[in-house]
Amino acid sequence: MTLVRRQFLQHAGAAAALIAFSSAAAAQTYPTRTVRLVAGFPPGSATDIVARLLAQPLSQRLGQEVIVDNKPGAGSNLAAGFVAKAAPDGYTLLAMTITNAVNATLYTGLDFDFARDIIPVVHTFESPNVFAVNPELPAKTVAEFIAYAKANPGKINYASFGIGSGPHMNGELFQMMTGIKMVHVPYRGNPLADLISGQVQAIISPMPVSIGAIKAGQLRALAVTGANPSDALPGVPTVAATVPGFITGIWHGIGAPKGTPPAVIARLNKEIDEILADPKTKEQFAKYGGAPVGGTPAEFGKFIADEIAKWGNVIKTANIKAEPEH
């Protein structure tokens, strides 16, 4: 078991044990002021969308405003580091996503340790990705895309939200499993406009980001990356139907700084879990091709540890290097 995985599982187990002994009185006094939910990607990103879908109902349940604070930069490490160093009082939370798990392996020399310094609160959202291309690309299926890429090595540009982002890791995994060669074009913001205009040709994107453009006919969906087709995109097959074993997705959750009182973690977990169980939340998430998850901090911690291990293997196999700081 890797050190990073062990740390996350220790956090998760400790959180579960502490919650059992938490003080109900302390939970009732929290919060007394605005709560900040920090997202490591810009407005319009999947992380931002999911955070905003939760912020309003959470504000109502907590009786204090919950604001989404976008802090993009350094592959989402800016936001994670900000939360890791924040006061552990429950007033600064992290909108966690797959990229945080990727970065645990991808980046070295950071002044914080994601697995050590962020405590899992609750797993909020999951959805498949969608393999989308500019409509001018001749490929209309995954098989045709692979054939076209093999006939034109290095001529397809695939976009991502930056080195280590979900679309980047999915693109690398797809190349590893199919033997094709594409050119990775990392963006610091949302690459959708360039994908629609044809400056880049493909993306394996979080569904909340690209589903609107697909339904508007601005992009062509070749496949979704889940184990099964998605009700959000009827008639679109899975990548795994052509590339067996290619099953990926995006996920989101909430984290807090290490040392946050267990009663606060328990309160947040309870309130968000109840929001996720609300049929209205399921309906909202479904519009973006996803579903609510919920569960305990321990369950979320184990899930994250598994994700760190999975993507750590891809990083090492593909020899992916972190984006140099400027």
Q: What is the pLDDT of residue 326?
A: 34
Strands (DSSP E) contained in the chain are 35-39, 66-70, 92-97, 118-133, 157-160, 183-186, 202-206, 220-224, 249-257, 291-292
State whether 97 and 182 are in the same domain. no
Tokens of 164: 């280590």
Q: Residue 59 CB: number of other CB atoms within 10 A? A: 15
Residue 273 lies in a domain: yes
pTM passes above 0.75: yes
Nearest to 40 by CA among 90, 91, 84, 87: 84
- Which of residues 241, 257, 277 is at a domain's end? 241
Residue 323 lies in a domain: no
Q: What is the pLDDT of residue 22?
A: 46
CATH, residue 149: 3.40.190.10
How far lies 199's CA from each of 134, 181, 191, in Å?
9, 18, 10
Q: What is the pLDDT of residue 309?
A: 92
Residue range(s) defining the domain that contains residue 311: 3-126+249-318
State whether 13 and 109 are in the same domain. yes
State whether 181 and 215 are in the same domain. yes
- Which of residues 196, 224, 241 is at a domain's end? 241
Q: What is the pLDDT of residue 193?
A: 95
220 vs 215: CA distance, rounded Å: 9
Q: Residue 209 CB: number of other CB atoms within 10 A? A: 28
33-66 pLDDT, tens digit per residue, is: 999 999 998 898 889 999 999 999 999 999 999 9
Q: What is the pLDDT of residue 161?
A: 85
Asked if 133 and 220 count as a contact pair (C-beta separation under 8 A), the reply is yes
Q: What is the pLDDT of residue 317?
A: 85
CATH, residue 278: 3.40.190.150
Tokens of 166: 């979900």
Extract the residue ranges of the chain whose pLDDT is less than 70: 1-28, 323-326
Q: What is the pLDDT of residue 243?
A: 98
- Which of residues 241, 262, 281 is at a domain's end? 241
